[in-house]
Copies of this chain bind each other. A is one copy, B any other.
Amino acid sequence: MPHKVRIALDAMGGDHGPSVVVPGAELSLLRHPDIEFVLYGDRAVIEPLLGAHPRLAAAVRLVHTDVAVKMDDKPSQALRYGRWKSSMWLAIDAVKKGEADVAVSAGNTGALMAMAKFNLKTMAGIERPAIAALWPTLKGESIVLDVGATIGADARHLVDLAAMGSAMARVLFDLDRPTVGFLNIGVEEVKGLEEVREAGQILRERPLPHLDYVGFVEGDDIGKGTVDVVVTEGFAGNIALKTAEGTARQIAQYLRNAMSRTWRAKLGYLLARAAFRTLADKMDPRKVNGGVFLGLNGIVIKSHGGTDVEGLAAAIDLGYDMVRYELLAKIGETLRRDGRESQAQGAAS
């Protein structure tokens, strides 16, 4: 790819706005000098920050807007007053107009998804968008989707999610045929949700070339890293993601409490400090920050709203990878080569 990776940044997004977005962008730029940024937001706040980050300033075009979507706006509210003019809208619109390759925002998820859907529209053949998350596992990382874009999924949508998730795994993990499993439960007679069984049948009967379908997985398989791509509808996926985050925080708290209780524990903690740092690093949610919106005519990355400079840089890095390793082309390839077949299959059944 000869040209630079052009990233549109919603500078006003997130709990901390430009004070995190600007240094986060500079951090990512140091790792990827071939990024060009367009920043959307309040010039009066952003310009002084750019003054303090001269390396970034040299790679940035700043587009002023007064309007910023608030973190607690409802999507419909945000669309009403923020369309055409908010920093969030403008970042997405840059992707739509071909002025940027990817938009990154730490703003409100619902508003970002509503604007992205409204402006970019879903890809041909894809009915509903999804959010894919990177999930640290015992083997490395997996992709889990959908973690909350759309509630409920028929078999057809689950197969689309499998195709899109595997394209993302090819980009991120440099695999030709990522392993894919459908999240299910093993208690009922005929194993779990009907739509999930039906989707499994579609993939078993008509295997897709860029995807190694391995069957059903259960909740505890996610952390084990049993498959590269875990596919589920957005309600269960969001609950799985938040439950795992909650469990990780809970155990970290137990650990802190245990290590500060006695002088022996404190001394042990001091000696093992490097090991605890390794552990904290493993558990660091900032390292895997960034949800990828899939199924739209353009790439949008959602960063956690409360993240810091390191986390925001990770979200930008993720957007960079999606562009550099051609996520959209890979999804298109999967859908062109495979999707029509299974679409025909879906229509026939």
Contact = CB atoms under 8 A, between A and B. Distances in A.
A48 to B, nearest CB: 34
A255 interface: yes
Give the number of times this chain occurs in the complex, counting copies.
2
A267 B272 CA distance: 7
A222 B275 CA distance: 29
B244 A244 contact: yes
Contacts of A236: 235-236, 239
Interface stretch (A1-9, A17-25, A62-70, A181-189): A181-189
A55 interface: no
Given A241-B219, A259-B275, A265-B275, A151 B246 contact: no
Contacts of A218: 238-239, 242
A267 B275 contact: no
Nearest to A268: B272
Interface string A272-299: 1111101100110000000000000000
B258 A264 contact: no
Contact of A110 (B188, B273, B274): B188
Interface in A218-238: 218-224, 232, 234-236, 238
Contacts of A279: 254-255, 258
A75 B268 contact: no
Contacts of A240: 219, 239-240, 243
A183 to B, nearest CB: 6
A325 interface: no
Most B Cβ at <10 Å: residue of A192, A250, A265: A250
A31 interface: no
A137 interface: yes
Contact of A278 (B186, B188, B261): B261
A262 interface: yes
Interface residues of A, number: 68
Contact of A250 (B109, B192, B224, B270): B224
Contacts of A249: 220, 223-224
A222 B248 contact: no
A93 to B, nearest CB: 21
Given A219-B246, A220-B246, A248-B247, A264 B271 contact: yes
Interface in A139-193: 148-149, 151, 183, 185-189, 192-193
B148 A187 contact: yes
28 contacts: A110-B186, A148-B185, A151-B193, A218-B239, A219-B238, A219-B241, A219-B242, A220-B243, A220-B246, A223-B243, A223-B246, A236-B236, A243-B247, A248-B251, A251-B251, A254-B283, A258-B272, A258-B275, A258-B278, A259-B275, A261-B278, A262-B275, A264-B272, A267-B271, A268-B270, A268-B273, A271-B271, A272-B272
Given A219-B242, A244-B247, 6 more contacts: A138-B250, A244-B244, A255-B255, A265-B275, A267-B268, A268-B275
Interface of A: 74-76, 109-110, 113-114, 137-138, 148-149, 151, 183, 185-189, 192-193, 218-224, 232, 234-236, 238-251, 253-255, 258-259, 261-262, 264-265, 267-276, 278-279, 282-283
